[in-house]
Structure formats: C-alpha cells, structure tokens
C-alpha cells in the first residue's frame, strides 16, 4: 500500500523547520541570479508567499490538496498540486525555464530520492541551482541518539508519512554529485554545530 499521507496543514503559518531555516535560506538567494524559482513540496506555501512578498518570482507545488488550497488564498496563480513521484510538472509550469529549485524537508520522505534529484535536474536550465534542506545526521548526533536511547522516538515507525531516509552531508552530496551537481554551500541549522536539527545544501548543475 502506497497511499499518500497528507501532512495535515491547518493554516498558512511557517512550518516548524522554517523557524530555524528561513534566514539561512534567504542568505542563499539573490534576485539578480535566482530569477525563476520552483519550490517542490511547498506544503502550505508559506515560503513561496514569503519570497513573493519580498520580490522573488516563485512557484510552488505539493501533493497536499489541502496545503495548496491554503497557499492559493494568498497568491492563487503561484501554486499547483503535484505528486512528486510523477515525472512531469503541472502543465502551467512546463514552459518556464527555472534557474532555481528549493525543496525543504522533503527528500527524507521519498522512496526514490535519486529519481527526485533527476527530476529536479531536468527542470533546471544549465548552471541552475538546487537548495535542499533535510534533517542532519552525522557521527556525533548519531552517537548521542544512541547513548540516550532516542532512536525509537527519532525514527518512530508508526509515523505515517514520516522519515524513511537518513541523510548525512556525505550521502546527500554524493547523490547530488551522481546527478551532475556540484555542492557549493553547506549550512547546519538549529542547535549546536554537529548536533544540528537540519542541514542545507546548495548545489549547482554543471
């Protein structure tokens, strides 16, 4: 059974991760370079609407019909329902040459992340950039989770639609490199260094 599990959006406020990621994400964007931005897995559209408000040209897609309905209340022409396991963008976006893709806290939920990265590559123009955020995992954080017996809570198998992939800087960099991207920025967000809640990787299509 592979039914999509809706996240359960109830309002247009920032999701918890944007509370500690937003400033770092903004530092990676430049209106003169990032002119056509696509947020894949945009949820309730908070980030897209925030960027549009600040002068960026951004569109968002998500599998959550409820999330997209909330997002459209602010900018109706910027949002579209899309199952990320499909191999096509919504028809309204297919003629746009995107130079930037953002995807926040999505890739850890995907059964086939390599296919997703390949899909992102196909949507980008030459020299385009991808910005991915995902929960951070590294030696020190993993050690602490083990010492304090927190793995059951951290990776609760009963969380429908929860995290099914654990990413480190090395593994995500490798997946992007295999698809023809070069990583140009790495940032950790939330908590102390090497115990970060999430990481942000920005990579360029070579």
The answer to whether position 54 is within a domain reads: yes
What whole-number percentage of the chain has pLDDT above 70?
Answer: 98
Would you say residue 169 lies in a domain? Answer: yes
The pLDDT of residue 2 is above 60? no
Q: Does 7 reside within a domain?
A: no
pLDDT tens readout for residues 130-167: 999 999 999 999 999 999 999 999 999 888 888 999 99
Query: Per the domain annotation, does 6 fall within a domain?
Result: no
Mean pLDDT of 46-69: 97
pLDDT per residue as tens digits for the range 8-40: 788 999 999 999 999 999 999 999 999 999 999
Does the pLDDT at position 111 exceed 60? yes
Within-domain flag for 13: no
Does residue 137 lie in a domain region? Answer: yes
Average pLDDT for 173-186: 98
- Note the helical H segments in the chain: 18-26, 46-53, 65-72, 113-123, 139-147, 151-154, 169-178
Q: Which helix (H) or strand (E) holds 34?
A: none
* Cα 22 to chain centroid, rounded: 12
- What number is the average pLDDT over the span 187-191? 96
Q: How many domains does the chain have?
A: 1
pLDDT bin (cut points 50, 70, 90) of residue 4 is low
**Average pLDDT along the chain:** 94
Pairing of strands 98-104, 37-40: parallel
114 is a domain residue: yes
Range of the domain at 98: 18-205
Q: Is the pLDDT of residue 3 over 70?
A: no
Residue 169 has pLDDT above 90, yes or no: yes
What's the CATH code of the domain at 47?
Answer: 3.40.50.150
DSSP per-residue string spanning 70-94: HHHTT-GGGEEE--TTSSS--GGGT
Tokens of 69: 């309905």
CB 112 within 8 A of CB 85: yes
pLDDT of residue 176 exceeding 50: yes
Angle at the Cα of 112 (from 110 to 118), degrees rounded to 5? 110
pLDDT band (50, 70, 90) for residue 1: very low
9 located within any domain: no
Entry pTM:
0.94
């Amino acid at each position: 059974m592979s039914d999509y599990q809706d996240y359960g959006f109830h309002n247009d406020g920032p999701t918890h991760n944007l509370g500690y990621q937003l400033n770092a994400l903004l530092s990676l964007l430049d209106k003169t370079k990032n002119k056509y931005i696509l947020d894949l897995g945009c949820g309730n559209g908070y980030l897209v609407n925030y960027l549009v408000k600040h002068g960026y040209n951004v569109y968002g897609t998500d599998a959550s019909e409820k999330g997209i309905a909330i997002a459209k209340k602010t900018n109706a022409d910027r949002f579209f329902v899309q199952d990320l396991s499909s191999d096509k963008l919504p028809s309204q976006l297919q003629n746009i040459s995107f130079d930037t893709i953002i995807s926040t806290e999505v890739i850890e939920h995907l059964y086939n992340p390599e296919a997703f990265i390949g899909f992102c590559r196909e949507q980008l123009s030459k020299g385009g950039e991808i910005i991915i955020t995902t929960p951070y995992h590294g030696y020190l954080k993993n050690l602490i989770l083990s010492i304090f017996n927190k793995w059951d809570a951290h990776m609760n198998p009963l969380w429908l639609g929860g995290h099914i992939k654990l990413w480190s800087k090395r593994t995500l960099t490798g997946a992007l490199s295999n698809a023809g991207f070069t990583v140009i920025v790495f940032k950790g967000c939330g908590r102390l260094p090497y115990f970060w809640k999430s990481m942000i990787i920005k990579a360029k299509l070579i």
